[in-house]
């Protein structure tokens, strides 16, 4: 007898994470992660996942799919922001023989998913004064910068995506003001994503090299060109490279400033959740006080932002949890 399954996926610019869950028991049957750089399309990834041995072993029959995508979507179509993939839910339903396929913005999915996280997946930076049912915000720097939020309804939280990551970057101090001028010369419009993302951290490092007329070893330059933010982070936290540490400091301060701007915008007494691919890689830098110093620097409203719970998401993927929750709803 075949097992009726839900397919849930988190399709980011860099990686795609997929799970299959039993409709009857909600147990995870199979979970896998794929590097997008080695794949031609989402269809290739999902087809491989659906024919995995673990799926065949239970005679899995997929009845619905819920895909969290890194880009704007109307639920049917998405052109991904930082990867040249177009995803059409109707095309996927036909090609994968799944009766219904739904798309949801990845940070919107995360705004649902954070409510399902166990305490072991969270590291608190500020306890605040949580209010049950109050709005919550998710900030996810990775290949891009996602911002989502959720508000309480009688039936539970309702999550929304936003394009706050593409709003104008606001410098926190004079050095960031110089960074803004530098980035304007390169891009014209400078959004928060130009700073708070993997490419953003690499850009900060490059700016510091130019500003200080610094000599950096060719090995490190090539490593940053090849691996971007990962190389800068490793140079800062493992090797103690001065410019890399300064770059990471600018990143963390800007991260704190954006989070506090969103705290004033949404009054999220349900919590601000710091997620995405970069946050877990810079735990030590996030906990050394710089982030919270920038977060708290709100003048007359410093006491207000002190009431907001702030935590890092370091364990389970909230995007995938949110996508699975949506799939569960439509399979019931």
Q: Enumerate the domain spans of the chain.
A: 4-111+318-331, 118-314
Q: What would be the CATH architecture of the domain defined by 4-111+318-331? A: 2-Layer Sandwich (3.30)
pLDDT value of residue 13: 85
Question: pLDDT under 70 in the chain at which residues?
Answer: 1, 214-215
Q: What top-level class would CATH report for the domain 118-314? A: alpha beta
- 17-70: per-residue pLDDT in tens? 999 999 989 899 999 999 998 898 999 999 999 999 999 988 889 999 999 998
> For position 1, what pLDDT does the model report?
59
Question: Which pLDDT score, from 0 to 100, does residue 280 have?
Answer: 92
- Tell me how far apart the terminal alpha carbons of the chain are, to the nearest angstrom: 19
pLDDT at 156: 86
Strands, E assignment, 90-233: 101-105, 122-126, 136-141, 145-153, 156-162
pLDDT of residue 239: 84
The answer to whether 4-111+318-331 and 118-314 have equal CATH topology is no
pLDDT value at position 220?
A: 79
């Amino acid at each position: 007898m075949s097992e009726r399954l839900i397919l849930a996926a988190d399709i980011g610019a860099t990686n795609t994470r997929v799970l299959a869950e039993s409709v009857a028991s909600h147990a995870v049957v199979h979970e896998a992660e794929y590097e997008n750089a080695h794949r031609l399309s989402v269809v290739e990834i999902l087809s491989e996942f659906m024919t995995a041995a673990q799926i065949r072993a239970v005679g899995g029959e997929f009845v619905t799919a819920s895909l969290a995508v890194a880009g704007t979507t109307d639920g049917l179509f998405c052109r991904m922001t930082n990867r040249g993939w177009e995803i059409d839910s109707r095309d996927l339903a036909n090609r994968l023989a799944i009766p219904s396929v739904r798309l949801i913005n990845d940070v919107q999915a995360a705004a649902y998913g954070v409510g399902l996280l166990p305490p072991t997946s969270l590291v608190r930076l500020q306890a605040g004064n949580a209010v049950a049912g109050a709005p919550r915000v998710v900030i996810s720097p990775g290949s891009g910068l996602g911002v989502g939020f959720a508000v309480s309804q009688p039936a539970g939280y309702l999550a929304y995506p936003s394009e706050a990551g593409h709003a104008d970057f606001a410098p926190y101090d004079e050095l960031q003001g110089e960074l803004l001028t530098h980035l304007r010369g390169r891009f014209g419009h400078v959004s928060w994503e130009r700073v708070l993302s993997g490419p953003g951290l690499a850009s900060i490092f490059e700016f510091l090299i130019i500003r200080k007329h610094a000599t950096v070893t060719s090995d490190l330059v090539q490593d940053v060109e090849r691996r971007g933010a990962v190389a800068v982070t490793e140079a800062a936290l493992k090797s103690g490279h001065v410019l890399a540490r300064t770059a990471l400091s600018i990143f963390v301060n800007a991260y704190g400033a954006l989070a506090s701007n969103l705290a004033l915008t949404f009054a999220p007494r349900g919590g601000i959740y710091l997620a995405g691919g970069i946050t877990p890689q810079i735990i030590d830098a996030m906990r050394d006080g710089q982030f919270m110093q920038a977060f708290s620097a709100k003048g007359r409203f410093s006491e207000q932002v002190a009431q907001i719970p702030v935590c890092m998401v370091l364990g389970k993927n909230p995007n995938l949890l949110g996508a699975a929750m949506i799939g569960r709803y439509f399979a019931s």
